[in-house]
Amino acid sequence: MNFQNTKWLSHPKILEINTWSWLYDLSERYNYPITLQNVPDEVLDKEISLFDVVWLMGVWERSPKGREIALDHPDLQEEYRQALRYFNTDDVVGSPYAVHYYHVDSHLGGQEGLIRIRKQLATRGILLLLDYVPNHVAVDHIWTLEKSDIFIQGTLEEQMAQPYHFFSVGDQVYAHGLDPNFFENPWTDTIQINAFSKEARQKTINTLLNIAEQCDGVRCDMAMLLINEVFKRTWGERGGKPLEKEFWREVIPAVKEKSPNFKFIAEVYWDLEWELQQQGFDYCYDKKLYERLIHDDARSIQTHLMADWDYQSKLVRFIENHDEQRAVKVFGERKSRAAAIIILTLPGAHLIHEGQTRGYTIKLPIQLRRRPMEENNAELIVFYNKLLKIIPGKELGKVQWSLCKVEPVGKDASYENLIAYIWEINNLRQLTVVNFSTYLTQGHIRIRGLHYGSNNWTFTDLLTQKKYTYKGEDLDNYGLYVDLDAWEGHIFDMKKND
C-alpha cells in the first residue's frame, strides 16, 4: 500500500491514544484479545474517524529493567493507587519512555500489528504518529553493550556519592537521564544520551530513518533537552565540546532528505518553541497557551495570539495530554468547553487526548496497562462530536486568519472577556467568539478589512445551528453584537445574502 497518498494538513486534528490501555479496554469490551493486529473497523469508524492523525503513544518495546524499577518506586506506587484503587504486578508494564528497543512490543501486536493498523487508518485518510525519545534510552538498551561516547559517563566515586544519578554497566559508569529543573529526581530507568557525540547523532538518524518507514511522523519527547545551550548547562564538560551543528539541525534534514513528508513534533517548554521551529520542527507544543487558559484571563490569551502567523501555525494546541491532569478536572466542565473551542479553532495542530471527549477525570500513569472504569459524559461527547466536525482551516485555498477587534456596548467593560478571531478561506468565513470568563458578557465584534455593504448577512452558529440575520449597514456601523453567558462561545459561518 502506498502510504504517501495521505498528506498532512496544515492544521491537523491529532488524537493521542495510550496504546496499551486502549487495547486492554477494547479486549474487555469485545471479550476477546485485541491487539494492533485485529482492531475492529467499527472502533476506528466510530471513535477515530473525525481525526486527521492518530498518535499511538507507547508502542515501542518497554524495558524489563524499567518495569522492575516501576514496580518498586514508592512515588509511582502511590500514583497507581490513585488511578487504580486495586492494582497488581501484571498491571505495571513499565514506562513507554524507557525504550528497550525501537520495535513494536509483541504484547501490542508486534510489527505486523503496526502495519495492519496503519493500513486501516490510511484507508480512512488518517495519518500515524509515533514516539521518539531523543534524550535517553532504557538502562538495559542494547547500546549499553558498546564502549563509546554515545552516553554521558561518570566515575565509581560519583556513583557511590550519587547512586540515584549514576549506575554501572560492566566496568562503565553512566548517568541517568534527567530534566535539569528537577536535578534531584533523575529518570532512574534511563541512560543519558550524549548530544555532542557524533556516533550518538548517527544512531539517532538511523533509528529515525527506520521509524519513518513505519509511520508519518514522530512526537519527540522533551526535544529541547538536546539544544546545545540546554545540554551544556545540564551536563557541563561531561559531553565534551559542542559540535558545530545543533543536534536537530543535523538530524532532521538527514531524515527528511529520504522522507520529505515525515513530520517532527516537539514536546518543548521553557519558551524554546520558536528556537526549535527554527531548528526544523514542523510543530511544537504550546504549553504557554495551556498555562494561560488555566490561570489567566481573556486579555492574556488574546495577547498570546498576537504572535506572527509563521509561529502560530506551527504550534500544537492542547488542554490535555498524558503528562497533564484531565481537562475536566483542571478546568471544570464549563470552562473546559470554552478552552476546547479555542484550542480546536486556532491555527496549528490540535491535540485531543483519548478520554478527553468523554469527560474522564482520572489521570492514568503511563506505566499501567489498564485504566479505571469511568462513566461517559454524554453531553460532553455530543459537544466534542459537533466541534470536531466544524474545525476550520482545511486546504480550501489560501487561508487567512486574524484576530478581531472587540468593542464595548456602552460603558459595559465586560467586552474584555471576549476572544474573537476569523478564518477566511476564499469566500468562506468562520468567526469564533468565546466568553472566557465567569460573567455574562456582551460586546461588538469588528472584523478588520471587511466591508459588509448593503446586503443582509446570515450568521449560522455551527454549534447550535441557530441562524442570525443582520443588515450590512448595521454591521459596518456597529460591528456584530454578541451576548454570551459564562464560558459560552459561537462558531459562526458567515454568508452574504443575495
Q: Each residue of 75-102: pLDDT tens digit?
A: 888 999 999 988 889 999 999 999 999 9
pLDDT digits 0-9 by tens, 372-428 = 999 999 999 999 999 999 875 455 445 789 999 999 998 888 999 999 999 988 778
**Across 161-175, 272-286, 443-457, least confident range:** 161-175
- Contact between residue 373 and residue 413 where contact means Cβ atoms under 8 Å apart: no
Q: What is the pLDDT of residue 60?
A: 98
d(CA 356, CA 272): 27
pLDDT digits 0-9 by tens, 120-148 = 999 999 999 999 999 999 999 988 887 77
Mean pLDDT across 215-242: 94
* Cβ-proximal residues to 493 (8 Å cutoff; 6+ apart), any chain: 428, 429, 430, 459, 460, 462
d(CA 341, CA 404): 16
Mean pLDDT across 246-252: 97
Q: What is the pLDDT of residue 430?
A: 93
Q: What is the pLDDT of residue 424?
A: 87
pLDDT digits 0-9 by tens, 302-347 = 999 999 999 999 999 999 999 999 999 999 999 999 999 999 999 9
Q: Which residues of 383-420 are buried (b: 16+ CB within 10 A; e: fewer)?
A: bbeebbeebbbeeeeebebbebebeebeeeebbbbbbb
Q: What is the pLDDT of residue 396?
A: 45
- Contact between residue 44 and residue 120 where contact means Cβ atoms under 8 Å apart: yes
pLDDT category of residue 299 using cuts at 50, 70 and 90: very high
Q: SS3 of 484, please?
A: strand
Mean pLDDT across 465-494: 95
Residue in the structure block whose three cell numbers are 490561570: 295
Confidence check: pLDDT of 51 > 70 = yes
Nearest to residue 138, comparing CAs of 94, 185, 76, 196? 94
Query: What single string gives the DSSP state of each residue in 94-127?
Result: --TTSEEEEEE-GGGTHHHHHHHHHHHHHTTT-E
Q: What is the pLDDT of residue 146?
A: 79
Q: What is the pLDDT of residue 270?
A: 95
The 10 Å Cβ neighbour count of residue 87 is: 17
Q: What is the pLDDT of residue 64?
A: 93
d(CA 201, CA 135): 11
Confidence check: pLDDT of 33 > 60 = yes
Residue ranges of the alpha helices (H) in 216-318? 228-235, 247-258, 273-278, 287-295, 298-304, 309-312
Domains of the chain in sequence order: 3-389 (3.20.20.80), 399-496 (2.60.40.1180)
Residue in the structure block whose three cell numbers are 450590512: 472
